[in-house]
């Protein structure tokens, strides 16, 4: 039996009465950051699983926050899929970063354990901020406390578990020849203005333009391979493209790590950094019903970091 469990992870803010709190005007320039982790809308839920291999499909459903995912006992798990499909082979990990909107699948082996605690660590707190934290980290003195488990898996030994080894060949991904890539496009993500580090008065743009429902920003030929280069002039941005899955060629100017070599539709670019992917659009999109590309930080796209394109 293949046990798959889908988990949407979010960080939310609640008031004293347990009501959700949200204000676009009070969001930081990096987007709205909550204090409480919820899994499928619940705080610290438990899930019953068999004594065997369990497949988790995870979604970072946050407005803006980047997560570091690991287990409380630092156990190894295997990443087997990215946003749009299986990797070619499983990748062993003990920690994993996820940007807003990213999805992935991991396998955890529950054969010789009674429980496992999934931790959702806020990346901005995990890494620390400022010069002091950087110095402490260099000398291995910065050890932020781990959060409480956001999800606990509890083994029920009466259930039939999947105990076979993880296949070492999961998928075959065929990449185009360089000669097949017909065009290169560049997208520069910019954040301008703002007051006191908040969104008031900020302008979010791609290639100098904010989202306009009446404007088609790009016109793309159907079934033709393209290379897209995405650049951030400020801040970290998960760049998302509709109507496709793509293959990442470079991240931060370096070769794509194994855990990101599957089909994706989100790529992360950080301050003054860039990334490239190759993509082909096989489904039409018209002026009346175009596709979009945008930053997947909710507040950034709401403030204009989005564009439209047709495929024809």
Q: pLDDT digit string (tens) for 207-230? A: 999 999 999 999 999 999 999 999
| Residue listed under structure tokens 């969001």 | 27
DSSP states along 208-220: TB---TT---EEE
Q: Which residues fall within 8 angstroms of residue 135, CB to CB, at 6 or more apart?
A: none
Regarding the domain delimited by 178-311, which CATH topology (the fold level of the hierarchy) does it fall under? Immunoglobulin-like (2.60.40)
Predicted pLDDT at 198:
41
Predicted pLDDT at 140:
52
The radius of gyration computed from the CA coordinates of the chain, to the nearest angstrom, equals 21
CATH number of the structural domain 3-155: 2.60.40.420
Q: Using one digit for the tens of pLDDT, what is the confidence trace for 103-161?
A: 999 999 999 999 999 999 999 887 654 444 444 444 555 566 778 999 999 999 999 99
Predicted pLDDT at 151:
97
Asked if 3-155 and 178-311 have one fold, the answer is yes
* pLDDT tens, residue order, the chain (312 aa): 467 889 999 999 999 999 999 988 888 889 999 999 999 999 999 999 999 999 999 999 999 999 999 999 999 999 999 999 999 999 999 999 999 999 999 999 999 999 999 999 999 887 654 444 444 444 555 566 778 999 999 999 999 999 999 999 999 999 999 999 999 999 999 998 544 444 455 689 999 999 999 999 999 999 999 999 999 998 999 999 999 999 999 998 789 999 999 999 999 999 889 999 999 999 999 999 999 999 999 999 999 999 999 999
Predicted pLDDT at 28:
83
| Residue listed under structure tokens 């990748």 | 91
Residue extents of the structural domains in the chain? 3-155, 178-311
Predicted pLDDT at 201:
57
> How far is CA 14 from each of CA 19, 55, 122, 164, rounded to the nearest angstrom?
5, 31, 17, 43
Predicted pLDDT at 25:
81
Q: Give the C-alpha separation, 142 to 132, whole Å.
A: 9
Q: Give the C-alpha separation, 306 to 256, whole Å.
A: 25
Predicted pLDDT at 197:
42
> How far is CA 208 from each of CA 29, 186, 277, rounded to the nearest angstrom?
18, 12, 21
Predicted pLDDT at 307:
98
Q: Which residues fall within 8 angstroms of residue 248, CB to CB, at 6 or more apart?
A: 256, 260, 261, 264, 267, 275, 276, 277
Q: Which residues fall within 8 angstroms of residue 204, CB to CB, at 6 or more apart?
A: 190, 191, 192, 210, 295, 300, 301, 303, 304, 305
Predicted pLDDT at 125:
81
């Amino acid at each position: 039996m293949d046990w798959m469990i889908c988990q949407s992870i979010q960080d939310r803010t609640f008031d004293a009465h347990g009501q959700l709190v949200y204000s676009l005007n009070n969001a930081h320039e990096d987007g709205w950051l909550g204090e409480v982790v919820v899994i499928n809308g619940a705080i610290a839920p438990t899930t019953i699983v068999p004594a065997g291999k369990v497949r988790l499909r995870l979604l970072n459903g946050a407005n803006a926050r980047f997560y570091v995912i690991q287990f409380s006992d630092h156990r190894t798990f295997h990443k087997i899929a990215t946003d749009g499909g299986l990797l070619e082979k499983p990748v062993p990990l003990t920690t994993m970063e996820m940007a807003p909107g990213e999805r992935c699948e991991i396998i955890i082996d529950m054969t010789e354990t009674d429980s496992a605690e999934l931790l959702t660590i806020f990346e901005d707190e995990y890494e620390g901020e400022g010069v002091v934290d950087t110095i402490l980290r260099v000398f291995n003195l910065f050890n932020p406390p781990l959060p409480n488990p956001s999800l606990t898996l509890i083994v029920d030994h009466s259930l039939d578990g999947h105990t076979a080894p993880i296949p070492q060949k999961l998928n075959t991904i065929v990449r185009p020849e360089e000669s097949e890539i017909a065009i290169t496009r560049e997208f520069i993500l910019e954040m301008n203005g703002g007051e006191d580090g908040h969104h008031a008065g900020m302008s979010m743009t791609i290639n100098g333009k904010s989202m306009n429902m009446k404007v088609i920003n790009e016109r793309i030929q159907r079934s033709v391979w393209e290379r897209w280069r995405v650049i951030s002039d400020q801040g970290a941005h998960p760049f998302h493209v509709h109507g496709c899955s793509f293959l990442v060629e470079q991240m931060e100017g370096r070769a794509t790590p194994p855990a990101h070599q599957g089909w994706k539709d989100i790529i992360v670019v950080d301050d003054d950094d860039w990334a490239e992917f190759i993509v082909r659009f096989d489904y039409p999109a018209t002026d009346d019903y175009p596709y979009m590309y945008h930053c997947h930080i909710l507040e950034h796209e709401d403030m204009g970091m989005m564009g439209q394109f047709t495929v024809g």
